Structure 1
Amino acid sequence: MSRSNVRKSKSLGFTLVELLVVIAIIGVLIALLLPAVQQAREAARRMSCQANLKQIGIALHNYHDVYGSFPPGGFRYMGPSPSSTNENTAFGATSHSFLVAILPQVEFSAMADNFNHIQGWRGRPNRRVVTTVPPVYQCPSAPLTLSDHTDETIIDDDDNVLGQMFAGHYVGNMGPIGPGYTLFCKKNSDSGSAPNCDSFNEVSDQGVLGANSKNAFRDITDGTSNTIMVGELSTNEYPTGAAAPRAWSRGCADHSCGMAKNVKFGINIQGFVSGNFNNMSFSSMHPGGTHVLMTDSSVHFVSENINMDVYLAIASRNGSEVASLE
């Protein structure tokens, strides 16, 4: 082999320095690409979340067409009381959420037919029914898909615990809490006594989906495009317990609610103290804010920097405020 051929064969390889430079360039390109990929994925999840709320809005409108009003955020069975030995005599256990009421409108009629309204959301028959969750009830950006509450479990026919019930990420708007707004404080139908509103962290009386409410379009005097009907609650920032995601079928008692909330704190603000299960902040894993469904079925992204007076105003259905998201 000639000397020139030897030189050519040696020149075909990479030096260690050249290899390290190539690896460094690839690393930089990956570092630049990953955030873009993550942003694209979040954008897709955000669009899916918006579509979920839109479908829930259409379902609520269809429910209104059938029954002449919107369902309550949580509704209680008002017939004969279950047996005193039944676990469902516990406060609020005979209730269901508005998400149960609109099951036929989100194409889960078979599940709706199997719900036992006398037993309530956590009765044994219903805990056997809720072995899944309609996909439209969960935000794809939310990491917490199951309830962490010990009484929110799925059981089989032999009462064996199979796992936790599925959480819901969209809650009804019970209304604003603040100066000038009214509270819902009727007698406790379980005990016949007049409860202290503060001991139940207050329940607003000016939202669209309240406790045992039956509001119709005629009751939304502030305008359907200016009034929140459903908000997102899908963050993982809340501590476990009463503030963590609740079972999607959990309704309201007279003064406590699972899948309907007051508007008292700003967007993405915890505002949590022990037992503060009604006064939860609409919140999400979407950067900078959260989605809300207005009563006209439009979906908006609300900034976490929204003015609090505006926020409370659009949470009220009949406060006569001049406020909108536009």
Structure 2
Amino acid sequence: MTTKKTLKPRGFTLVELLVVIAIIGVLVGLLLPAVQAAREAARRMSCSNNFKQIGLGMHNYHSAYNQLPIQGTGTRASGGNRWWADKDDGNLHRLSFLVGITPFIEQQALWEQLSNPMLGRTDGSTTNNPGGTIPWPALGPTPAQVQYIPWATELPGYRCPSDPGTGLPSLGRTNYAACLGDSIVQSASGFIDVRGERGTAYETNEYYSTRTRASARGTFVSLKSMRFRDILDGLANTIAAGEIATDLGDKDKRTSFPQAAGTVLSESVIRDNPSVCQDDPTPLVDPARPQFWHSDTPIDSSIRARGFRWADAMPAFSSCFTILPPNRESCTYAPDSNNRAAWTSGTYGVTSRHQGGAHVLMGDGAVKFVTDSIEAGDSRAGMVYYDKTSGPQSPGSQSPYGLWGSLGTRASREVISEEF
């Protein structure tokens, strides 16, 4: 009599299990970059759509008021009206173009808060003034006031999904900035007499208006009403706004500003060489990590950083220039006694968290992606300004920054003969 043997089911050996795990790991490693690329493509598309909506808001604003929203508008305050001051009873004409278009981008509720006196503070206090028992004024205080709820409000339509920046020390962030052209001269002060700051010998309408007209060559001019008819180069050939990356506190040279900028001690130094922060012998830029400032370079750690205030018209926060090509450094100069420099004037360019370039909004509403390698002329050539009576820096000259600079100027009569 024979006895049948029962065969036990055979399991995986340790070697077989390790092989299977290794194969799965290889497949995940192969698929992960593709998944990440697909996610970034979706974020980039969403970013482009946000910019498109801003463009439509600008055009609808122009249709309603026969002008573009002003970059640098608002109300005066009691006492001094210096643009770098902080006031609770007025905003010193510091409001950006992004404030004006809120009713045209489905933010009517926010505009109602802005355009009327209101009570309320971000800290919830009902006793501290103003905003506690005394209402904030219509159009709010200066945009640095953290207790004013609208200024601390983050608007998804003003944010690029690829930019992870969030939270304090910033207020409501923006990744989209008005294009002021190819010269930083007079970019912060603009037509300063609107703020009522006249009183000294040079603070007159004639002094500022003549100098601003010479150097402010972009679609937007600080404190000045602009219209589509002013863009003589054509809306399709002129950048109206550019994308900007916001600061993450990591000393990124595109988004943070040196507090003591080596030999860069005045605006005129940058005016005559936009690449001076890169050339400085200190050095300011870290040679081992060229995308960042050197570890020894002190950075202004307050809320003065790129894109930190969507409502603030100061160039550091919501403006850009077509001087240095996309994703180059934000070159500023050492602050003066009023600590104005590192947030009012500098080569604040077009930057992004996307790979290889950044978006721009053209005057006709089209959104285009500009690569870092766009033809940008001589990055060490001096900028155009009023007091230069001859040569390539004199008023009316073509942009020294090639195709990139030409796209940023509204009426320099350059012919755009190539795709970008």
TM-score (norm 1): 0.80
**Does structure 1 conserve the Cα–Cα contact (< 8 Å) formed by 2:246 and 2:305?**
no
Local SS of the residue matching 2:241:
strand
Distance 1:248 1:2, change over 3 A: farther
The 3 A distance-change label for structure 1 pair 64 and 231 is: same
Q: What are the residue-to-residue correspondences of 1:216-235 with 2, within 5 Å?
A: 216-234=227-245
1:107 positional shift: 1.4
Structure 1 position 324, deviation (Å) = 5.8
Q: Distance in 1 between matches of 2:78 and 2:176?
A: 29
- Equivalent position SS for 2:12: coil
Matched with 1:251 is: 313
Residues 93-129 of structure 1 deviation map (CA, whole Å, 9 limit, x = unaligned): 442111100010011122112222363434577x123
Alignment RMSD, CA only? 3.2
5 Å matches for 1:296-315?
Answer: 296-308=364-376, 309-315=402-408
* 1:216-295 aligned within 5 A: 216-234=227-245, 236=247, 237=252, 238-239=255-256, 241=300, 242-252=304-314, 258-274=317-333, 275-277=341-343, 278=345, 279-295=347-363
The yes-or-no answer on 1:119 pairing with 2:141 is yes
Higher relative contact order (CA 8 A, sep 6+): 1
* Contact 2:93-2:223 at 8 Å conserved across structures: no
**What SS is found at the alignment partner of 1:20?**
helix
Secondary structure, aligned partner of 1:31: helix
SS at match of 1:176: coil
- Residue identity (%): 34
Q: Judging changes above 3 Å, is the alpha-carbon distance between structure 1 residues 303 and 90 closer, same or farther for their aligned structure 2 residues?
A: farther
Q: CA, structure 1 residues 185+73, in 2 after alignment: closer, same or farther (shift >3 Å)?
A: closer
Number of residues paired by the alignment? Answer: 295
- TM-score, normalised by the number of residues in structure 2: 0.63
Q: 2:28 aligns with which of 21, 24, 30?
A: 30
Mark the runs of 5 or more structure 1 residues left unpaired by the alignment.
149-163, 198-202
Q: Which residue of 131, 153, 174 corresponds with 1:168?
A: 174
Alignment of 1:4-153 (within 5 A): 5-6=6-7, 9=8, 12-77=10-75, 81-83=77-79, 87-88=86-87, 93-115=92-114, 116-117=138-139, 119-122=141-144, 127-146=148-167, 148=169
Is this contact kept in 2: 1:267–1:304, CA < 8 A? yes
Tell me by how many angstroms 1:84 deviates: 5.8
SS of alignment partner, residue 221 of structure 1: coil
State whether residues 82 and 118 of structure 1, in contact with CA within 8 Å, keep that contact through their aligned partners in structure 2.
no
Structure 1: which amino acid aligns with 2:164?
P
Question: Which segments of 5 or more consecutive residues in structure 2 lack a partner in the other structure?
Answer: 115-137, 209-213, 257-298, 334-340, 377-401
Cα drift, residue 251 of structure 1? 2.0
Structure with the higher strand share, 1 or 2? 1
The DSSP-based 3-state class of the residue aligned with 1:75 is coil
Cα contact 1:82–1:119 (8 A) shared by 2? no
Q: Does the Cα contact within 8 Å between 2:182 and 2:409 map onto a contact in 1?
A: yes
**8 Å CA contact 1:144, 1:245 repeated in 2:** no
Distance of aligned partners of 1:145 and 1:323 in 2 relative to their CA distance in 1, 3 Å threshold = farther
Matched residue of 1:265: which SS?
A: coil
Cα distance in 1 for partners of 2:308, 2:150 equals 17
* Residues 1:281 and 1:119: Cα distance change in structure 2 (over 3 Å): same
